[in-house]
Amino acid sequence: MAEAERITARQRAILTAIVESYIETGEPVGSGTIAGTIARVRAGGGHGASGLSSATVRNEMAELANEGLLEQPHTSAGRVPTARAFRMYVERLSGGAGARLLGGAQRLHLESQIDSSFAGISGTQAMLERTSHVLATVSSGVGVAVAMVASGDTLEHVHFSRLSKGRVLAVVVTSSGLVRDRMLTMEADVTARELETAASFLNEHFRGWSIERVRAEIGRLVERERSEVQRLLTSVEELWAGAVPQGGKAAQTVYVEGVANLLGARGVGSAEEMARLREVLAALEAKQRLVELLDAYIDAKQESVRVIFDLEEHAPEMAGLVLIAAPARMAGDGHGTVGVIGPKRIHYENTMNAVSYIAQVFERMLHPPA
């Protein structure tokens, strides 16, 4: 029997009211609060558990606690929902009987906010950067946008800038619209003129070539040439190897915004909480770790938003947080993920709809109808 089927319709209505009250206030919820909420719903023409006294609600809350859906943090306090309760709540929002998706004026307002935020934006990189900002704003969580571009992505333009002795900034633009920049430390110093020559060589000879094909061809030329141009080719090879490191994995571009939102959301105060928060921040700053987390849970082939509660199974430092994410199609053969990391008392309706809608925005803007 499904977990939702083990409780009555009245208990489901009470549990929903408790979850929403806890999301709103962050405080344990008492029976009197829920009885008042249900009375207001009834007065407004709502359905579900109606005309319940505080005593009745208290008894039902005790049953929900026995089912492992509520817990009592302090003897005299109200109850708070468990992770299982949040899962049931999200399942009700996502689909099935009684699904409660954000609709009407609320959804239109959210979509209007998102559309206005993307006005005038074009190209994958700009959209990723704006996506992380928009998701952080609408969710009060951490907005995440990741693009993974296949190694077959082709070269559009490359530029090298000399920053100081032995230090070079390499910027590689691909046909999918992604811009990769890397700080390189060269074994031998190179002049600005030499960097310009190297960039011109790559742009003139390899524009439209796949990243891997460029690497292979440069290596072949270095082996073949035994003349004055060898020095140039050797410099080009070193610059290119630094700008686009070799590896079978797709190139990744990661944007994260809204980390400061976790400071208030987690109720940081104790030394232990501060230590845990530092672990979370370190994980978010180590963007490769974040990509691994998304890869572990989000399948590029899925078509809907997924809500993950057990992040600590893959990343212990993420205990107490939830991931709401969906795959997004990028230009060319690339793919990516857009999502939000936040506390369990995040506003699920708004966040799930925002993530879903932004994934559709990528589809619409990067793959316009013919």
Q: Note the pLDDT tens digit of each residue in 228-271.
A: 556 666 666 666 666 655 544 455 678 888 877 776 555 545 56
pLDDT of the residue at 159: 85
Query: Sign (positive/negative) of CA torsion 293, 294, 300, 302?
Result: positive
CATH number, domain containing residue 358 = 3.30.450.40
For residue 23, tell me if it sits in a domain: yes
Residues 103-130: what's their mean pLDDT? 76
Residues 20-49: what's their mean pLDDT? 75
For residue 216, tell me if it sits in a domain: yes
Domain that holds residue 192: 155-243
Statement to judge: residues 334 and 257 lie in one domain: yes
| Longest pairwise C-alpha distance within the chain | 92
pLDDT > 90? residue 340: yes
pLDDT of the residue at 85: 93
pLDDT of the residue at 60: 92
Statement to judge: residues 9 and 122 lie in one domain: no
Statement to judge: residues 164 and 134 lie in one domain: no
Last residue in a domain, options 218, 243, 268:
243
pLDDT of the residue at 47: 46
Statement to judge: residues 169 and 209 lie in one domain: yes
pLDDT of the residue at 97: 39
309 exposed, middle or buried (CB, 10 Å; 0-12, 13-18, 19+)?
Answer: middle
For residue 28, tell me if it sits in a domain: yes
pLDDT of the residue at 108: 79
CATH number, domain containing residue 27 = 1.10.10.10
In this prediction, residue 282 has a pLDDT band, given cuts at 50, 70 and 90, of confident
Residues 300-307: what's their mean pLDDT? 81
Statement to judge: residues 206 and 267 lie in one domain: no
For residue 188, tell me if it sits in a domain: yes
Statement to judge: residues 255 and 334 lie in one domain: yes
- Of the listed ranges 101-115, 151-165, 322-336, the one predicted with least confidence: 101-115
CATH number, domain containing residue 202 = 3.30.390.60
pLDDT > 50? residue 99: no
CB 148 within 8 A of CB 251: yes
For 113, half-sphere exposure in the C-beta direction (CA atoms, 13 angstrom radius) is 20
41-75 residues labelled b (16+ CB within 10 A) or e (exposed): beeeeeebbeebeeebbbebbeebeebebbeeeee
For residue 15, tell me if it sits in a domain: yes
For 196, half-sphere exposure in the C-beta direction (CA atoms, 13 angstrom radius) is 3
165 exposed, middle or buried (CB, 10 Å; 0-12, 13-18, 19+)?
Answer: exposed
pLDDT > 80? residue 96: no
For residue 310, tell me if it sits in a domain: yes
CB 56 within 8 A of CB 62: no
pLDDT of the residue at 232: 63
Residues 182-210: what's their mean pLDDT? 84
pLDDT > 90? residue 339: yes
- Of the listed ranges 94-98, 167-171, 224-228, 236-240, the one predicted with least confidence: 94-98
Statement to judge: residues 124 and 258 lie in one domain: yes
Q: Which two tokens stand for residue 54?
A: 């505080």
For residue 99, tell me if it sits in a domain: no
Statement to judge: residues 168 and 19 lie in one domain: no
What CA–CA distance (Å, rounded) separates 15 from 20? 9
For the full predicted model, state whether its pTM sits above 0.75: no
Statement to judge: residues 304 and 255 lie in one domain: yes
For residue 357, tell me if it sits in a domain: yes
Statement to judge: residues 86 and 131 lie in one domain: no
Q: What is the pLDDT of residues 206-225, one digit of tens each?
A: 888 877 788 778 777 766 66
Q: What's the mean per-residue pLDDT of the chain?
A: 77
pLDDT of the residue at 168: 85
Is the pLDDT higher at 124 or at 321?
321
Statement to judge: residues 55 and 130 lie in one domain: no
Residues 123-146: what's their mean pLDDT? 83
What CA–CA distance (Å, rounded) separates 345 from 347? 7
Residues 339-353: what's their mean pLDDT? 90
Residues 78-95: what's their mean pLDDT? 87
pLDDT of the residue at 68: 92
Last residue in a domain, options 192, 212, 243:
243
Last residue in a domain, options 202, 221, 243:
243
Is the pLDDT higher at 274 or at 1?
274
In this prediction, residue 69 has a pLDDT band, given cuts at 50, 70 and 90, of very high
Number of domains the chain contains: 3
Q: Say what percent of the chain tops pLDDT 90.
A: 13
Statement to judge: residues 18 and 119 lie in one domain: no
pLDDT of the residue at 64: 94
- Of the listed ranges 98-102, 125-129, 270-274, 327-331, the one predicted with least confidence: 98-102
